[in-house]
Amino acid sequence: MTTRRFVPDSLRDQIVRILIQWGMAAPIADTTATVMVDADLSGIDSHGVSMLLMYETLLNEGRLNANAVPAIAEEGPAFGVVDGDHGLGHATAVYAVELAIAKAAYAGIGAVAVRNSRHFGAAGYYARLASERGCIALITTSTRIPVTFAAGGTSPVLGTNPIAFAAPRADGEPLVVDISTSVVAMNKVKAYALKGDVLPVGWVYDRTGRPVTDSAAAYAMLTSQEATLSPLGGAALETGAHKGFGLSLMVQILSTALSNAATPLDTRDRDNIGHFFLVIDTAMVNSSGSVAGIVEDTLTAMQRDEQEVRIPGDPEREARSERGRRGIPLPDTLIRQVADIAARSGAPFVLTESS
């Protein structure tokens, strides 16, 4: 598989042109493309431009409102509920986290729940956005398809339900934790399938509870609900299955119960994805101390005698620096896919190779 590198701004421009052809308003297309390209820059290849084909399918099936306008449905001094109007999640999520930041600036903390959203890319983006302004952020989202089993069960009852957390550091870019509450994300199984690698035992099980290690079979079975993913902590109580299950439930409820988004086994309204954004204004809540200083002390002490310890968010920060300079690597199959999507939308192909 050949991979070439492309100028990030040309990828951003390409996505904007396609989204506008789909009917999206220019400022919303702009925000959406910025968030998507940030995933590609950060090395989170599964959540950037590679999602475009799935978005096109949703659009063609009438399950995505291209010219959605997110709006506040309920509001109080420190909270809001946002209706995403069935649009792509990226611009809705930026709107929601900005609202939470504004609430926090007034009340110390702000929480915003979202309904009628769609896939919003990497949750860590929005957490980082809040922490770049000195806030602590905790963000969760529901996901569309049940793939993860409950501790003690064998059928898929929850999504991969990610959670992101970010906090400012005194001497560097924010700490950013961004994890699924399943043992791995779906895209990890897909990546193994693309390479033909054997899966580790403990990731995927069939409906009778037997491990599936054939990665291609596992991915196909997961999408048809014939197989299920372990929660974080694996399948046994001994390794913490109930802990991953509990965390996934927490994410599910924060993301859907406050905003009336779809519950995981509700098949009528599955596209109605919900998010939750909590933002804490650190200057206001800890006015006598330095949150960023305490975070810095906590993290630097951990790395003092440990060369191999990586602080969450550091690999993505390094990828942004490297890819920002050298360009974003895209495999030829993906480039062809983007060219086809552009052609179908009526947008020109404007991807430019890095020199």
Q: Which residues from 215-234 bind a second copy, rule CB under 8 A?
A: 232-234
**Are the beta carbons of 7 and 41 closer than 8 angstroms?**
no
Return d(Cα 113, Cα 142) in angstroms, integer.
11
Return d(Cα 262, Cα 105) in angstroms, integer.
30
Q: Is 291 left (phi over 0), alpha (psi -120 to 50) or beta?
A: alpha
Measured over the CA atoms of residue 11, residue 15, residue 16 and residue 18, the dihedral's sign is: positive
Scan residues 101-130 and list those touching a second copy (CB under 8 A): 106-111, 113
Scan residues 70-99 and list those touching a second copy (CB under 8 A): 73-74, 76-79, 81
Of the listed pieces 47-55, 86-94, 282-290, 330-338, which binds a second copy according to CB under 8 A? 282-290
Of the listed pieces 210-218, 306-314, 332-340, 341-349, which binds a second copy according to CB under 8 A? 306-314
Structure token pair of residue 242: 């109930």
CB of 267 to a second copy, least distance (A): 11
Of the listed pieces 12-20, 21-29, 88-96, 157-165, which binds a second copy according to CB under 8 A? 157-165
Q: Is residue 284 at the binding interface for a second copy, with CB under 8 A as the rule?
A: yes
CB of 285 to a second copy, least distance (A): 5
In single-letter form, the type of residue at position 133 comes to R
Q: Is residue 267 at the binding interface for a second copy, with CB under 8 A as the rule?
A: no
Q: Is residue 256 at the binding interface for a second copy, with CB under 8 A as the rule?
A: yes
| Segments of 142-196 assigned E as strands | 148-149, 156-158, 163-169, 172-179
- Contact residue for a second copy among 21, 69, 187, 202 (CB under 8 A): 202
* DSSP category for residue 233: T
- Contact residue for a second copy among 295, 330, 335, 338 (CB under 8 A): 295
What number of helices (H) and strands (E) belong to the chain? 12, 13
Return d(Cα 133, Cα 111) in angstroms, integer.
16
Binding mask 325-354 for a second copy (x = CB under 8 A): ------------------------------
Of the listed pieces 13-21, 32-40, 297-305, 340-348, which binds a second copy according to CB under 8 A? 297-305
